[in-house]
Amino acid sequence: MNTLTIRRPDDWHVHLRDGALLQAVAAATARQFARAIVMPNLRPPVTTTAAARAYRDRIVAAVHQDNQDSGSTAGAEFRPLMTAYLTETIDPADLELGHREGVFTAVKLYPAGATTNSDAGVRDLGAITPVLETLERIGMPLLIHGEVTDAEIDIFDREAVFIERVLAPLLQRHPGLKVVLEHITTSDATDFVRTGPANLAATITPHHLHINRNALFAGGLRPDLYCLPVAKRELHRLALRAAATSGSPKFFLGTDSAPHPREAKESACGCAGIYNAPYALESYAAVFEAENALDKLEAFASEHGPRFYGLPLNDGTVTLARRPTPVPERIAGLVPFHAGETLGWQLVT
Ligand code: DOR
Ligand code: ZN
């Protein structure tokens, strides 16, 4: 088999940023995906329907501008799906209105201090009970960065501890709430999601399928492989690969592509985030092929996500061709995931 044609996929978790960085990265996602769930952790965060509508317009404009500059039409039909950044003071009525008007697709919960631009996030889950009740009532998904922020907890244990202390009780309190545990990194998470209720699902990134924590220190400190949640031990990577390729509808594609300017990565206090958008499908295809599961890629990339969100599947297809695909060291000044490597598949249409 030298080509692989699948229904057009979506990215259920991406950071597109704003301003010049948005202009530099938006087209990469638009070329690969029909739709993407866009994270709201801008400065200031996206907390209102008006702000989300304006941000959505800026994303669409950036893709169009790129198409004009490059003379390409790839990605012209890209649809950003917007999320609201949950704060303790957010207005549930505005969220509900934004959802009804088709502006907000989901709400993102960052525990305060867990990651990039999360300071405005939630400290006390009790404070947002009315918001969670609204989400549960209207069927709007809650997307969770699942790490505790307690400095006493070892950073490699923060996801597992979050599941036990925060997520399990939350699901008990709100049994009808649709929850996506984002960018899972552990076998604790794959087990919890697989055996959990149907309203619980998870996204899996390409990088957590490819690297374990050794990669962060291979021959020296590797800032481009630092992300949050940080990559874990090999046994966890293997559990993620098994989950992604299992065919279970509870696991779907979410790149967590999170570009940062060079100086923010190469710094005494470098930012978390891996920029994987330009070769995301190629990167996932490498994993599915190595696991002898290329027949499961379409469902993971194009079916499980929309079914969970209650959205239509995309029309149309994309084709990957089996050919050596060198990944550049830099794209628009950013270091992409797999920089300098050669991947075995290439997205051709
Ligand atoms: O690595 C990450 N980068 N993880 C996150 O949760 C946030 C993201 C970012 O915005 O840079
Ligand atoms: Zn993210």
pLDDT tens for 179-200 read 999 999 999 999 999 999 999 9
- Residues 6 or more apart whose CB falls under 8 angstroms from that of 17 comprise 25, 42, 259
Is residue 191 flagged as an active site residue?
A: no
**Is there a domain that residue 323 lies in?**
no
Cα 74 from Cα 92, distance rounded (Å):
37
Tokens 């990957």, located at residue? 320
* Statement: residue 307 has pLDDT above 90: yes
Enter the tokens of residue 215.
């990669």
38 alpha carbon to ligand 2 midpoint, in Å?
9
Give percent above pLDDT 90 in the chain. 95
At residue 177, the pLDDT reads 98
* Statement: residue 275 has pLDDT above 90: yes
At residue 225, the pLDDT reads 98
Mutate to test the pocket of ligand 1, among 11, 13, 15 (most ligand atoms within 8 A of CB): 15
The residue-averaged pLDDT of 107-112 equals 95
- Cα separation values, 261 from 167, 174, 271, 331, 339, Å: 33, 39, 9, 11, 15
In DSSP notation, 18-38 reads SHHHHHHHHHHHHHH-SEEEE
**Helix, strand or coil, per DSSP, at residue 170:** helix
At residue 271, the pLDDT reads 97
Identified catalytic residue from 57, 256, 295, 315: 256
User: Quick one: which atom of ligand 1 is closest to the CA of 15?
Assistant: 10
**Is there a domain that residue 169 lies in?**
yes
* Statement: residue 302 has pLDDT above 90: yes
- Burial letters 283-303, b for 16+ CB under 10 A, else e: bbbbbbbebebbebbbbbbbb
User: Quick one: which atom of ligand 1 is closest to the CA of 114?
Assistant: 6
**How is the beta sheet containing 79-85 ordered, strand by strand?**
11-14, 35-38, 79-85, 104-109, 142-144, 179-181, 200-204, 251-253
Ligand 1 lined by 41 (C-beta under 6 Å):
yes
At residue 21, the pLDDT reads 98
Cα atoms in the Cβ-side hemisphere of radius 13 Å centred on 136:
14
2 alpha carbon to ligand 2 midpoint, in Å?
33
**Is there a domain that residue 34 lies in?**
yes
**Is there a domain that residue 302 lies in?**
no
At residue 242, the pLDDT reads 98
Phi, psi of 336 (to 5 degrees): -80, 155
Ligand 1 lined by 228 (C-beta under 6 Å):
yes
The residue-averaged pLDDT of 239-253 equals 98
At residue 237, the pLDDT reads 99
Q: Of the given ranges (8-22, 115-129, 156-170, 249-263), which has the lowest mean pLDDT?
A: 115-129
Question: Beta strands of 25-174 (E only): which ranges?
Answer: 35-38, 79-85, 104-109, 142-144
CATH number at residue 187: 3.20.20.140
* Statement: residue 312 has pLDDT above 90: yes
Reported as a pLDDT band with limits 50, 70 and 90, residue 120 is: confident
At residue 249, the pLDDT reads 98
Reported as a pLDDT band with limits 50, 70 and 90, residue 111 is: very high
**Is there a domain that residue 66 lies in?**
yes
Ligand 1 lined by 257 (C-beta under 6 Å):
no
**Is there a domain that residue 111 lies in?**
yes
Ligand 1 lined by 208 (C-beta under 6 Å):
no
Cα atoms in the Cβ-side hemisphere of radius 13 Å centred on 324:
4
The residue-averaged pLDDT of 83-108 equals 97
Give percent above pLDDT 70 in the chain. 100
**Is there a domain that residue 95 lies in?**
yes
Whether this prediction's pTM lies above 0.95 is answered by yes
Cα 147 from Cα 93, distance rounded (Å):
28
* Statement: residue 206 has pLDDT above 90: yes
* Statement: residue 74 has pLDDT above 90: no
Per-chain mean pLDDT for the chain: 97
Ligand 1 lined by 225 (C-beta under 6 Å):
no
**Structural domains of the chain, count:** 1
At residue 76, the pLDDT reads 87
Reported as a pLDDT band with limits 50, 70 and 90, residue 238 is: very high
Structural domain that includes position 247: 9-282
**In the structure, how many helices (H) and strands (E) does the chain have?**
13, 11
**Is there a domain that residue 143 lies in?**
yes
Of 113 and 271, the one with more pLDDT: 271
